[in-house]
A and B are shown apart, each in its own frame.
Chain A
Amino acid sequence: MKTNIWTQIFLVTEDLLNKISTSKYNPLYYHGALPQFIMYILFLSGLLLFAYYVPTIDNAYFSKNLVNAYTSVAYITNDIPFGAVIRAVHRYAGDAMVVAILIHMVRVWFTDRYRQYRWVQWESGIVLLLMVLFIGQTGYYLIWDERSLLLTRMTVSALEVVPVIGEPLRNWFLNGRTISNLTLSNFLFIHIGLSFSLLFALWIHYVRMSRPVITPPPALNYILMTIIFAVVYFFPITATKIADLNSQPTSMDIDVFFLLPYAVLGALGTTGFWISMILITAALCLIPYPFTNKKPVESAEVVDSKCTGCSFCFKDCPFQAIEMVPAPAGSRFKLLATVKPYRCSGCGVCVGACAFDAIDLPNLLDSDVNEKIKQLANSQSA
Chain B
Amino acid sequence: MAAAIGLCLWASAMMPWAELDMNVDNLPHTFKLLHIEPVGKALGEIYGGSADKHKTHLESQKAEGKKGEYVYSLAIGLALLGAAIAIAAIGSADDEEKMTLPEKK
CB within 8 Å of B: which residues of A? 21-25, 74, 77-78, 81-85, 88-89, 217-220, 222-223, 225-230, 232-239, 312, 352-357, 366, 370
Residues B80 and A238 in contact, CB atoms below 8 Å apart: no
Which residues of chain A are within 8 angstroms of B88 by Cβ–Cβ distance?
Answer: 21-22, 24-25, 219
Nearest A residue to B81 via CB reads A226
Is B29 an interface position by the 8 A CB rule? no
* With known contacts A24-B92, A85-B72, A85-B73, A353–B102 Cβ distance under 8 A: yes
Q: How far is the CA of A354 from the CA of B105 in the complex (A)?
A: 10
Q: How far is the CA of A238 from the CA of B59 in the complex (A)?
A: 10
Residues B73 and A229 in contact, CB atoms below 8 Å apart: yes
Is B37 an interface position by the 8 A CB rule? no
Residues A82 and B80 in contact, CB atoms below 8 Å apart: no
Q: How far is the CA of A146 from the CA of B57 in the complex (A)?
A: 26
Which residues of chain A are within 8 angstroms of B47 by Cβ–Cβ distance?
Answer: none
Having A24-B95, A219-B88, A233-B73, one finds 13 other A-B pairs with CB under 8 Å, namely A24-B92, A74-B64, A82-B72, A83-B65, A218-B84, A226-B78, A229-B73, A229-B76, A230-B77, A233-B74, A236-B58, A354-B102, A355-B104
B58-105 residues at the A interface, CB under 8 angstroms: 58, 61-66, 69-74, 76-78, 80-81, 83-85, 87-88, 91-92, 94-95, 101-105
Q: How far is the CA of A274 from the CA of B31 in the complex (A)?
A: 61
Total interface residues on B, CB under 8 Å, equals 33
Residues B65 and A84 in contact, CB atoms below 8 Å apart: yes
Name A's interface SS.
helix
Which residues of chain A are within 8 angstroms of B72 by Cβ–Cβ distance?
Answer: 82, 85
* With known contacts A78-B64, A236-B58, A222–B70 Cβ distance under 8 A: no
Contacting residue for B69 out of A74, A82, A353, CB 8 A: A82
Nearest A residue to B77 via CB reads A229
Residues A355 and B80 in contact, CB atoms below 8 Å apart: no
Which residues of chain B are within 8 angstroms of A222 by Cβ–Cβ distance?
Answer: 80-81, 83-84, 87
The 8 A-B residue pairs whose C-beta atoms are closest, nearest first, are A229-B77, A84-B65, A355-B102, A236-B63, A222-B84, A233-B74, A222-B80, A219-B84
B20-77 residues at the A interface, CB under 8 angstroms: 57-58, 61-66, 69-74, 76-77
